[in-house]
Structure 1
Amino acid sequence: MSAAFIEPMVGRYLHVEIGGQDCRVYFEECGSGIPLVCLHTAGADSRQFRHLLCDEAVTSQYRVIAFDMPWHGKSYPPEGAQDGEYQLTTERYVETIRAFCAALGLEQPVVMGCSIGGRIVLQLAHAHGAEFRALIGLEAADFQQPWYDTAWLHRGDVHGGEVCAALVSGLVAPQSPARYRHETLWQYMQSGPGVFRGDLYFYRVDADLRGKLGNIDARATPLYLLTGEYDFSCSPDDTRRTARGIDGARVVEMKEVGHFPMSENPEQFRRYILPVLAQIAAQPG
Structure 2
Amino acid sequence: MDIDGRPHRVYVEEAGPAGGGGIPLLLLHTAGSDGRQWRDLLNDPDITARFRCIAFDMPWHGKSSPPAGWQEERYQLTTAGYTGLVMTMARALGLDRPIVMGCSIGGRIVLDLAAEHAAALRGVIGLQGSAFTGRYYDLSVLHHPHIHGGEVCGALVSGLIAPTAPEAGKWETLWHYMQGGPGVFRGDLHFYAEEGDLRPKLARIDTTRCPVTLLTGEYDYSCRPADTLATAAAIPGAKTVIMQDLGHFPMSEDFARLKPHLLPALEAMAGLTTPPRGAA
1:126 partnered with 2:115: yes
Normalising by structure 1, report the TM-score. 0.93
Distance 2:82 2:66 in 1: 14
The answer as to whether partners of 2:133 and 2:193 remain within 8 angstroms in 1 is yes
| Percent identity of equivalent pairs | 55
Distance 1:215 1:202 in 2: 20
Q: Deviations over 1:9-47 (max 9, x none)?
A: xxxxxxx21111111100100013000000000000000
The answer as to whether partners of 2:26 and 2:55 remain within 8 angstroms in 1 is yes
Residue 212 of structure 1: CA displacement?
2.2
1:12 is aligned to none
The answer as to whether partners of 2:135 and 2:194 remain within 8 angstroms in 1 is no
Distance 1:42 1:145 in 2: 14
Q: Among residues 139, 145, 149, which one is paired with 2:128 in the alignment?
A: 139
2:277 is aligned to none
Question: What SS is found at the alignment partner of 2:201?
Answer: coil
Distance 1:143 1:96 in 2: 20
1:30 is aligned to 15
2:229 is aligned to 240
Distance 1:38 1:212 in 2: 22
The answer as to whether partners of 2:122 and 2:270 remain within 8 angstroms in 1 is no
Residue 260 of structure 1: CA displacement?
0.2
Superposition misfits of 4+ residues, deviation over 3 angstroms: none
Residue 218 of structure 1: CA displacement?
1.0
Residue 282 of structure 1: CA displacement?
2.1
Gaps of 5+ in 1: 1-15
Query: Match for 1:201: what amino acid?
Result: H
Q: State how 1:192-271 maps to structure 2 within 5 Å.
A: 192-271=181-260
Residue 283 of structure 1: CA displacement?
5.6
Distance 1:79 1:113 in 2: 27
Q: Deviations over 1:31-65 (max 9, x none)?
A: 13000000000000000000000000000000000
Question: What SS is found at the alignment partner of 2:171?
Answer: helix
* Cα RMSD for the two superposed structures: 1.1
The answer as to whether partners of 2:112 and 2:201 remain within 8 angstroms in 1 is no
Q: Among residues 96, 99, 108, which one is paired with 2:97 in the alignment?
A: 108
Residue 92 of structure 1: CA displacement?
1.0
Question: What SS is found at the alignment partner of 1:224?
Answer: strand
Distance 1:281 1:263 in 2: 23
Distance 2:4 2:91 in 1: 15
The answer as to whether partners of 1:61 and 1:281 remain within 8 angstroms in 2 is no
1:158 partnered with 2:143: no
Distance 1:24 1:89 in 2: 20
Gaps of 5+ in 2: 274-280
Residue 86 of structure 1: CA displacement?
0.5
Residue 219 of structure 1: CA displacement?
2.1
Distance 1:220 1:98 in 2: 17
Question: What SS is found at the alignment partner of 2:61?
Answer: coil
Distance 1:231 1:132 in 2: 28
2:271 is aligned to 282
The answer as to whether partners of 1:31 and 1:59 remain within 8 angstroms in 2 is yes
Query: Match for 2:270: what amino acid?
Result: A
Distance 2:62 2:137 in 1: 24
Q: State how 1:38-117 maps to structure 2 within 5 Å.
A: 38-117=27-106
Distance 2:81 2:201 in 1: 19
How many aligned positions are there?
269
Normalising by structure 2, report the TM-score. 0.94
Distance 1:206 1:126 in 2: 17
